[in-house]
Amino acid sequence: MALIHAALLFAAVCGFSLAAASLGNFILRIWRLEMETDAQHLLIGAALGVLSIEMLLFGIEVTQQIRTGCFVLLGLLFIFLLVECRSIAQRCVRILKVAFPVSRVDRFLLIIIGIVLGVEFLACLAPLTGSDALNYHFPVQKLILENGFHPNYSLSLSFFCGQHHLLVLFGLALGSEKLAMGLIFLGGVLTALSLACLASRWSSSTTALSITLLFLLTPVVFWQISSSGAPDIWMAFFASAAVIVLCQSKISGTWRQALLAGLLTGGVAGAKYTGCVVAAGLAAAIATEYRSALNTLLLCAGSLFTGIWPYLRNFIWTGDPIFPFLTKTLFPERVNLFTLRALLAETGASQSGNLGQLIPFVFFAGIRRNSLGFWDFFGPLVFALAPLLIPALGSFPKWRVLAVVWGVSAVGVFYASGLPRFLLPIFPIALACTAVGIDFSQKSGWKTTNRLAMGLAALLFVMGAAGLVMYCWKPIATAIGVSSEVSYLEQRRPDYQEAKAINQALGGYAKGGKTLVFLRHMYSLDVPFVNGDPTTSWLINPDLLRTRRDWEVFFQREGITFVARSPSYPQAIEAPLTEMEAKGDLVPLAHLTVQDFRGMRIEGNRVEIPVVILKVKSSAEQ
């Protein structure tokens, strides 16, 4: 049954991709735009289709009829699929004719790529365990479905949700967490196809396929595609798609090219604040390549049209389009300095750029020694082969587009954040450049250099494959029904047992009000809650919540009836809450003991943690 379910989900993801491509193909046909190859045309069509779907989902959110609206949207996509199915089928047939026959090496690479994608797809069907996904990517969308579309200051990171989070909302609204994960996986597949299209413009099919396989075996990539639960991989797809458009010869230098690239750029800028830096890189690329102020303005206008919606939402809700980073300047009376500092540190915005770290960072070799993990590791290939790029790229047309997007974006991200994982949107572009360097060394007869490059690539293939197997075997065993989902969650999902204990203890108090919790990972909670962690909740301001009386007023205002701590309160607010317990304002209701991770989850250290449920004494009881 698990395999049948996986097959149905795979069919659903394929159906969504074809429907999106159909919608985008319809738009391109209306505009009378044709890409150089059928593969590029379908990719750009899929990108336009996904953007259109996301903008429609924003409109559906505003109506507050989200589940109904998502099913109506599903019907609309089916109509476009029927209308455009003949055109899409013809293009797919032509793609297959061009792709085959291939050499034995290419056929082998295609088979391995298929196996890797199959492994990553099965892994993405396991229950959600990604830390950030459990913290806000999925909980925010779950709460929107339950409580409606409105600002949630309890989860400050909810304001960081960009337009690709709407695909998560779409999956959850249709009743399937696994479908939401499958749509994230789809973003990875489309990114890999975009990389293959870009690399094949200037390098052989074997090199293009090899670099695509290496992309899929890169730890940060297979983590993003398989189990992270973060939709950031879609940024890489839209950045690659925009570069593909800027490299088109048929529409080179036209206003249509600039506007189309701009619409796709909005898919990067609207996803995350650092996406605006990548959008600036794309604007710089069109300005450098075509030297047209009008085309540059058209690109900016197009990106504004498709990418403004999360910023407009934040502006309407808070007055700060990039909440909370401008609040200190715009509305100093509303600022929560404690939470703001924590968020600046979390996003890397508070770090000062060290010039000595810039070069490794730009070439994807920067690491954070205090927080090592899959989420930052791109591998050494781009850095090691960087010397090949200068002589190679100078020999090919349109090389400035890739170089400018890569350079401007990487330097901008370095000074805006400094977190390596935020380079993911431009990683495929850098790999396409690296493919050019590898082929250039072959054609130039640099045998030693070429052998070193091939040896490094082979080593990274082996290491990446080993890492993929080690990382994905447990999720796959769960996804195909070999292991129990409950057992998997208890062993792998952080804060799962605490949330389960809170749900069990308070499940009988259906109308008992909200619960103040201090968990980082809140997706497993089924009871109404308010996040009490001052590092992530804009509501919890330690400067304003200093006394018992302050907390009593806060509990009454927010409708909080219960408090759940496991095991202690955050240090910044510990004193007044501990005093309330001592004075009898917080009455013990239940005491349970569970197991959870201590320190980094990747280390696997588990300890017993007490979970204490307390009831807030009402004013009448006092």
Q: Which of 422, 447, 475 is the last residue of a domain?
A: 475
For residue 607, the model assigns a pLDDT of 84
Residues 254 and 337 in one domain: yes
Last residue of a domain, one of 424, 447, 475: 475
Contacts of 420 (CB under 8 A, 6+ apart): 361, 364, 366, 367, 368, 376, 378
Alpha carbons 390 and 575: distance in angstroms, whole number: 60
Of 590, 587, 598, nearest to 555 by C-alpha is: 587
Mean pLDDT of 79-85: 95
- Same-domain pairing of 168 and 252: yes
How would residue 438 be classed by pLDDT, with cut points 50, 70 and 90? Answer: confident
Residues 465 and 518 in one domain: no
DSSP 8-state secondary structure symbol assigned to residue 440: H
The reported pLDDT for the residue numbered 322 is 94
Do 470 and 589 fall into the same domain?
no
CA atoms within 13 A on the CB side of 179: 19
Neighbours of 76 (CB within 10 A): 14
Q: Flag whether 622 is in a domain.
A: no
What pLDDT is stored for residue 318 in this prediction?
95
Q: Which two tokens stand for residue 363?
A: 């070439």
Task: Give the pLDDT confidence score for residue 450 in this predicted structure.
Answer: 77
Exposure of 572 by Cβ count < 10 A (0-12 exposed, 13-18 middle, 19+ buried)?
middle
CA distances to 150, 312, 322, 453 from 316, in Å? 10, 6, 11, 52
Same domain, 152 and 263: yes
For the whole model, what pTM was predicted? 0.95
Domain boundaries, position 121: 2-475
Assess whether pLDDT exceeds 60 at residue 374.
no
Same domain, 456 and 577: no
Q: What pLDDT score was predicted for residue 491?
A: 87
Domains of the chain: total: 2
Q: Are residues 433 and 541 in the same domain?
A: no
Residue 217's pLDDT is: 95
Q: Are residues 461 and 507 in the same domain?
A: no
Q: Is residue 281 part of a domain?
A: yes
Q: Are 433 and 190 in contact (CB under 8 A)?
A: no
The whole-chain average pLDDT of the chain stands at: 91
pLDDT digits (tens, 9 = 90+) for 60-80: 999 999 999 999 999 999 999
* Residue at 381 is within a domain: yes
Q: Are residues 330 and 376 in the same domain?
A: yes
**pLDDT given at position 375:** 53
Please give the Cα distance from 262 to 279 (Å, whole number).
9
Let me know the angle formed at the C-alpha of 511 by 507 and 515, rounded to the nearest 5 degrees.
Answer: 65
Return the bridge partners of 594, or none.
609
Q: State how far the Cα of 106 lies from the Cα of 100, in Å rounded to an integer.
A: 10
Across the strands, what pairs with 531?
A: 517
Residue 486 lies in a domain: no
Contact of 514 with 560, CB cutoff 8 Å: yes
CATH number of the domain where residue 508 is located: 3.40.190
Is residue 97 in some structural domain? Answer: yes
| Residues 108-117: tens digit of each pLDDT | 999 999 999 9
The predicted structure's pLDDT at residue 353? 63
Within a 10 A sphere around the Cβ of 604, how many other Cβ atoms? 11
pLDDT at 516 over 60: yes
pLDDT of residue 35: 95
- Domain membership flag for residue 488: no
**455 and 592, same domain (yes or no):** no
What pLDDT, on the 0 to 100 scale, is given for residue 2? 80
One domain for residues 465 and 580: no
Instruction: Measure the CA–CA gap between 269 and 280, rounded to whole angstroms.
Output: 9
State residue 442's pLDDT score.
80
CA distance 150 to 143: 10
Residue 334 in this model has a pLDDT that exceeds 60: yes
232-272: pLDDT as tens digits: 999 999 999 999 999 998 898 899 999 999 999 999 999 99
Question: Which residues, other chains included, contact 274 with Cβ-Cβ below 8 Å and sequence gap of 6+?
Answer: 413, 416, 417, 422
Decide if pLDDT at 49 tops 80. Answer: yes
